[in-house]
Structure 1
């Protein structure tokens, strides 16, 4: 948060204090503690991380989040700076623009790995909760459509990008199509589909599926 934002935030807090001298009752009625917790979680901050940023103990932060401690205005200003939010964001319902400030980084070979006989899926951005997209990479072990007992199908839509090797995309209403590295496809996930490697080495692909 830059100096201008901090000054603006301080002015907002001061104005609110002048208009609402009994501000502690107002904060409690608005359940500010749980709101601080929600914002901290949206920003992917642990209590320890917020403690380090704010200089407040984890115990103090936990009490505030659970409405067991009513923070002073000075303490609130410290939290505003550490959370990088405005007074209105802190006291109102969590806003969509705050949700959109989330960010996740997944390094190569990181992320939970889920093995199946046909695929090895590595989840990306797995720590982000309530996301609308499910991104993951896959190593395609399957070499024949006969490897699948039935079509893969689920709700939503899906994007596929071949990262390395070559695959054959099977969809129940279309002829199989070969995709090389750099090729992609977008299709309805409710349509039966399956993917097999047709290159010497197992192909690597990126999937992005919608979550309905």
Structure 2
């Protein structure tokens, strides 16, 4: 008897869902309340702040955003003025978020080595180009500030997580701070910074740097 192989779309439901979504074109009507809320949150405003700027009651704004009531033309004028936008922007459809499907797995100790005088870097996710973040693990070899010729500084922002060991984090505008396993710091990388291992063993850290 001839064996019947199971279709891959049945084996992986997510593929079937994605394929069905590609085959159907759904026109979603504009949700004005959702659009107003999206604009407000992008501006970093609370409902209370938006109420003060637009002259509309907080409860009214909440009802508009939750599609409980439709705003009058006068209310839309106040919204446009208070949010400092043109009225047509209230009717623009929300931006679509498209998944790029990018992925890069780096197995343990399989990153790209990049040793320096003070650090032993292991670059991660090296197969992806034009990354918005640059992740890498580093073994901190330095034991004193004398091993640095000057402050380390570069564009972007940086996140540091201590994976093992103990470090002293020096920065240009703050007092030195000791960080142990599990501790982290997020900082402006334009600010001068340096690290040294405080224990007998080299500390191991995870660094994530934003692209400029």
TM class by shorter chain equals 0.5 to 0.7
CA displacement at 1:167 relative to structure 2: 0.3
CA displacement at 1:97 relative to structure 2: 1.6
Partner Cα separation in structure 1 for residue 206 and residue 22 of structure 2: 42
Partner Cα separation in structure 2 for residue 131 and residue 96 of structure 1: 18
How many residue pairs were aligned?
129
Tell me the residue number matched to 1:170: 170
2:102 is aligned with 1:113:
no
Partner Cα separation in structure 2 for residue 135 and residue 8 of structure 1: 33
Structure with greater Cα Rg:
2
CA displacement at 1:123 relative to structure 2: 0.6
Tell me the residue number matched to 1:183: 183
Ranges in structure 1 where 5+ consecutive residues have no aligned partner: 13-94
Tell me the residue number matched to 1:157: 157
Tell me the residue number matched to 1:208: 208
Q: TM-score, normalised on structure 2?
A: 0.57
CA displacement at 1:138 relative to structure 2: 0.1
Distance 1:190 1:6, change over 3 A: closer
CA displacement at 1:98 relative to structure 2: 3.2
Tell me the residue number matched to 1:145: 145
Q: TM-score, normalised on structure 1?
A: 0.57
Partner Cα separation in structure 1 for residue 153 and residue 111 of structure 2: 24
Higher helix share: 1
Distance 1:147 1:105, change over 3 A: same
Q: Secondary structure at the match of 1:97?
A: coil
- Encode CA deviations 1:9-58: one digit per residue, 9 max, x unaligned: 5688xxxxxxxxxxxxxxxxxxxxxxxxxxxxxxxxxxxxxxxxxxxxxx
CA displacement at 1:126 relative to structure 2: 1.1
- Tell me whether 138-147 or 124-133 shows the greater mean CA deviation: 124-133
